Amino acid sequence: MNTKTIIVLGAGVGGLVVANELRRKLPSQHKIMLIERNADHRFAPSFLWLMTGNRKPDAISQPVHRLVRSGIDLILGEVTEIDLTHQQVTTSQGAFGFDYLIIALGAELAPEIVPGLAENAHSFYTFAETQKLYQTLHRFEAGSLALVVCSVPYKCPGAPHEAAMLISDFFRRRGIRDKVEIHLYTPEPQPMPVAGPQLGEAVKQMLSSKGIHFHPLHKLASVSRSEIAFEGKDSARYDLLIAIPPHRAPSIARQVGLANEAGWIPVDRFTLRTKHENVYAIGDITAISIPGRWKPDVPMMLPKAGVFAHVQAEVVAERITDEISGRTPTAQFCGTGYCMLEAGEGLAGFAFGDFFGEPSPRLELRNIGRAWHLGKVMFEQWWLSPFGIKKALLHSALNVGGKLLKIPVDV
């Protein structure tokens, strides 16, 4: 068997899973390299809990090297060039050749795209910004709080609605909820439009029950110190602004010629292959079309969420393993996914379904309950466990409400 080198770019959810799965499946003579610029992994789904003081920073952080299997070469460095012709990746730590390349670099935040946003808005989309936001929320006593989705796409379509409800609960616990108005603005026509009108209406009712004002079809144009301006809508005043910044793909994807006009990497939606042989992309950096449209001229795209990156990573690992082993690859990404929607007070909803369903995605929302919140907590603890004790922590698949939520204990 010829020795192969597989390089994985990025140690987020998708990158960690695909590297660990490849190392588990392939014989030791094959080389698995994981290139990541940050020495510490921050568990982004827990940023919302960090924002409200329900988590300490250390509780949602883990050195990357503790989350990977032995036998994986971890390179801590910045990717500066990808040469597809000569199959080489150049980093701040040197250049490395590959037989297979998996790009899992995620999405970057670009607040500078909206005039005045970076200077005036807080965010819970980075570890450092979330810690600052917690301090600000803790000092906030009264007034109008505006939570604004700047543009689509953005990571985790449920996050803005979860944030609004958790913030509402935070102020309730502080005894000042009646002194704070919470407004949620988005350019989308409804909450989580990819999930369909029924689920969108259910989320609207959840927001309304918390006294949160929902404003759809509000496209942010600019921000000043106390006012937000929208395209074709009245401006709104605020005392505290929290924004989901514009997202874009890392520039390296555009430089190498893999990206589409919007900057994301198109892939085959079943195999995750790019237009280049033996080059795959998974997770937030990808562009995967799905049935339906959320505007007459805007096709639906698969949401950017860790649950999809996770499953895509497993599919790619299985396909590459089969190919190297001389078997015909058969694994396919089927487009199913789920989301545990935090509602505050230790409760959460659970949405799941088929995002490749025809003629449009088919999703369901389970009633709000404590079990869904506990499932999210248990997954957080499993994910952040050092690799060597994961199986001791969970001996088998964790199922919340039947077989809807599976913890891949062999990762």
Instruction: Read off φ and ψ for residue 193, nearest 5 degrees.
Output: -60, -30
The CB-side HSE value for 248 (13 A sphere, CA atoms) comes to: 13
* 285-307 exposure pattern, b = at least 16 Cβ within 10 A, e = fewer: bbbbebbbebeeeeebbbbbbbb
CA distances from 120 to 155, 239, 245 (A): 21, 10, 12
CA distance 69 to 21: 9
Enumerate the β-bridge partners of residue 213.
Answer: 183
**For residue 33, which of 112, 111, 88 has the smallest C-alpha distance?**
88
* pLDDT for res 92: 96
Residue whose pair of structure tokens reads 């953005």 in the numeric block: 154
Sorted by sequence, the CB contacts under 8 Å of residue 218 that are 6+ apart come out as 148, 185, 186, 187, 230, 233
Query: How many C-beta neighbours within 10 Å does residue 84 have?
Result: 18
Tally: H helices and E strands in the chain: 10, 26
pLDDT of 118 over the 60 cut: yes
- Is there a contact between 317 and 47 (Cβ–Cβ < 8 Å)? no
pLDDT digit string (tens) for 228-283? 999 999 999 999 999 999 999 999 988 888 999 888 999 999 999 999 999 999 99
pLDDT of 393 over the 80 cut: no
Average pLDDT estimate for 295-310: 86
Give the percent of the chain with pLDDT over 90: 78
The C-alpha angle with vertex 57 and arms to 56 and 62, in degrees rounded to 5, equals 120
Domain 5-107+249-333 classification at class level: alpha beta
Instruction: Read off φ and ψ for residue 154, nearest 5 degrees.
Output: -145, 160
pLDDT of 407 over the 60 cut: no
* pLDDT for res 356: 92
When pLDDT is cut at 50, 70 and 90, the band that residue 76 belongs to is very high
What CATH homologous superfamily does 113-246 map to? FAD/NAD(P)-binding domain (3.50.50.60)
pLDDT digit string (tens) for 211-228? 999 999 999 999 999 999
Of 31-45, 293-307, 318-332, 336-350, which gets the smallest average pLDDT? 293-307
pLDDT of 389 over the 70 cut: no
- Is there a contact between 134 and 39 (Cβ–Cβ < 8 Å)? no
- Is there a contact between 170 and 137 (Cβ–Cβ < 8 Å)? yes
Boundaries of every domain in the chain: 5-107+249-333, 113-246
pLDDT digit string (tens) for 395-405? 333 444 444 44
Tell me which of 92 and 351 has the higher pLDDT: 92
CA distances from 353 to 79, 80, 280, 405 (A): 35, 38, 25, 12
DSSP label at 273? B
Q: Where are the alpha helices (DSSP H) in 332-389?
A: 370-383
pLDDT digit string (tens) for 342-388? 999 999 988 888 999 888 888 888 888 999 999 899 989 889 987 65
pLDDT of 391 over the 50 cut: no
* pLDDT for res 295: 66
Of 247-251, 301-305, 307-311, 360-364, which gets the smallest average pLDDT? 360-364
Instruction: Read off φ and ψ for residue 226, nearest 5 degrees.
Output: -135, 10
Enumerate the β-bridge partners of residue 365.
Answer: 351
* pLDDT for res 111: 97
* pLDDT for res 300: 84
Per the prediction, the chain carries an average pLDDT of 91
125-128: long-range contacts at Cβ-Cβ below 8 A with a sequence spacing of 24 or more? 125/44, 125/47, 125/155, 125/244, 125/245, 126/47, 127/42, 127/47, 127/50, 127/57, 127/61
Residue whose pair of structure tokens reads 């599976």 in the numeric block: 406
Average pLDDT estimate for 62-82: 96
pLDDT digit string (tens) for 153-212? 999 999 999 999 999 999 999 999 999 999 999 999 999 888 778 888 999 999 999 999
CA distance 186 to 169: 21
Question: Fold match between 5-107+249-333 and 113-246?
Answer: yes
Residue whose pair of structure tokens reads 């990025």 in the numeric block: 10
Instruction: Read off φ and ψ for residue 251, nearest 5 degrees.
Output: -60, -25
Q: Specify the length of the chain in residues.
A: 411
* pLDDT for res 392: 39
When pLDDT is cut at 50, 70 and 90, the band that residue 85 belongs to is very high
